[in-house]
Chain A
Amino acid sequence: MASPGAKKQKADERAKYQRLAASIVPKPPLVRNMVVAFVVGGLICTVGQGVINAFMSRGMTQDEATAPTLATMILIGSVLTGLSAYHHIGEFAGAGAAIPITGFANTIVAAAMDFKREGYILGMGAKMFIIAGPVLVYGILSGVLVALIRWLYRG
């Protein structure tokens, strides 16, 4: 295989090429993307606020209204995914569609729709959480750890 000198030369060539490529690769339209993510994400949260308000007007506290609100938004995201609409929103709005909980629902339903073709058990059942899984795993890990620390240091 290559001698140390040849390895060094190859690494230099690669670094030089990567600088060239980086100078030609177009920068993403950051301002446009931020504005669109802001507006679309903001609008989804505004809808969420309407849902919370509707639950709270029936006498729930904000804490009590949290779970049904998240569930309602998840239902909306799921239905939009089933109608093949949500990925177009995502293509347009990026993080504005990915970060709200509707986007979390989209990851689950999109995977379910796609992988059912490999069967309902090993396809849909096994791969439904292929993208949402990490969010759940690290959400639960960090959430429980954080709660444990707060609980141990409770005043």
Chain B
Amino acid sequence: MTTKRVGGSTIVYSTPPVIVSAATVAGPKESEGQMAQWFDELVPDDMFGERTPEKAERRFMEDAIKIALGSARVLPEQVNMIFAGDLLNQIITSSFTAEGFGIPFVGLYGACSTMAQSLTMASAMVDGGYADLALAVTSSHYQTAERQFRYPIELNIMRKSTSQYTVTGAGAALVGRSGGKVKVTEATIGKVIDMGIKDPNQMGPAMAPAAADTIFAHLADTGRDPGYYDIILTGDLGRVGAEILRQLMAEKGVPLGDNYSDAGILMFEGVRGTGVGGSGCACSALITYGFILKRMCQNEISRALVVATGALMSPISWQQGESIPCIANAVVLET
């Protein structure tokens, strides 16, 4: 049997699965940015007509799945498993949504890195022959994240110079054996890295070392340099975290070039009141399944390294004075 791994932590899919279809559903603030043109559905009401924001977040995820299945003309019964995650306690958005579709469900939690985590797992199942079709889905919502991790919505709070803004939306990718242009070829699973940052307003600085570690491991495993990719995208480091990542990579001797961008920065470029950029599971999902995938389908780019970053703290851990453990998971998309 041929090995399906290179180096210590990089999966190489032997028959790379393809992304059969993908869908992105974005909230109101996300629709104001320059990225809006790449999203499939723009929802002007962040409450989606629902009574609670938690229900609204589920509607975002549901719609993403429906659009992804619809554009591939696939019925829920034909999907063998769904890998989904979100930011809420006990990942209620994912499990409640999965119940509605009746697809066998694996719930994942990697905070905002769940997008890459779910795509990695779905692709592994398809490549391994355990699934013909598998869904990878993630969502986040400004209101649900804010009230779970921070303060009530109406509270008077001035954002810090490093604060980020949780993206409202959901992204879904249907992974299969054939019928799509973009292949998932490799994935690098990250280690949990904690460099002792404790301030929950400093997610970018907390997550940057995890991103650096995973990117470095990926390049070392595959023997490539950053220039191999048309785009290297981190999930939600924001402007501050992205700058730190550049410094860290330069220190390691593999500086990132102009092909590096961050989904959090792209998401809210020119949108007022969003701090140093977007964050949340939907941030990397919207940019990857919208902006990157569509440009790959249009032959504008052919190789992308998506590094979704996640901060694995809980309100309890930071109230108890613990620092913020972080993770970054990478997937390679190629046409």
Instruction: Enumerate chain A interface residues (CB-CB to B < 8 A).
Output: 13-15, 17-18, 20-21, 24-29, 33, 81, 84, 86-87, 89-95, 97-98, 103, 106-107, 109-111, 113-115, 117, 130-131
Contact = CB atoms under 8 A, between A and B. Distances in A.
B162 A117 contact: no
B161 A110 contact: no
Contacts of B243: 24
Interface centre among A17, A28, A110, A130 (most CB of B within 10 A): A17
A16 B176 CA distance: 45
B158 A115 contact: no
Q: Which 4 A-B pairs have the closest CB atoms?
A: A90-B156, A94-B158, A110-B154, A114-B152
B147 interface: yes
Contacts of A24: 205, 240, 243-244, 247
Contact of A91 (B152, B159, B202, B208): B159
Contacts of B223: none
Contacts of B205: 21, 24-25
Contacts of A131: 151-152, 155
Contacts, number: 93
A17 B196 contact: yes
Nearest to A111: B152
Main SS of the interface on chain B? Answer: loop
B161 A27 contact: yes
B157 interface: yes
A103 to B, nearest CB: 6
A16 to B, nearest CB: 9
B73 interface: no
B154 A91 contact: no
A26 B154 contact: no
B271 interface: no
Contact of B161 (A14, A28, A97, A107): A28
A110 B195 contact: no
25 contacts: A21-B205, A21-B208, A25-B202, A26-B162, A26-B240, A27-B161, A29-B161, A84-B154, A86-B154, A86-B156, A87-B154, A87-B155, A90-B155, A90-B156, A98-B157, A103-B156, A106-B154, A107-B156, A109-B154, A110-B151, A113-B152, A113-B153, A114-B153, A114-B154, A115-B152
Contacts of B51: 117
Contacts of B196: 14-15, 17-18
A20 to B, nearest CB: 6
A106 B154 CA distance: 8
Say which size band chain B's interface belongs to: 20 to 34
A20 B196 CA distance: 12
A110 B153 contact: yes
A91 B273 CA distance: 9
Contacts of B247: 20, 24
Contacts of B154: 81, 84, 86-87, 106, 109-110, 113-114
Contacts of B195: 13-14, 17-18, 21
A25 B181 CA distance: 40
A17 B323 CA distance: 14
Nearest to A106: B156
B209 interface: yes
A110 B158 contact: no
B52 A107 contact: no
Contact of A28 (B52, B156, B160, B202): B160
A53 to B, nearest CB: 26
Interface in B177-208: 195-197, 202, 205, 208
Nearest to A97: B156
Nearest to B251: A20
A39 to B, nearest CB: 14
B156 A25 contact: no
Contact of B156 (A13, A26, A89): A89
Interface in B3-62: 51-53
Given A86-B156, A117-B51, 20 more contacts: A14-B195, A18-B195, A18-B197, A20-B244, A21-B208, A25-B161, A25-B202, A28-B160, A33-B158, A81-B154, A84-B154, A87-B154, A87-B157, A91-B159, A93-B158, A97-B156, A103-B156, A106-B155, A110-B156, A114-B154
A10 B30 CA distance: 39
Contacts of B240: 24-26
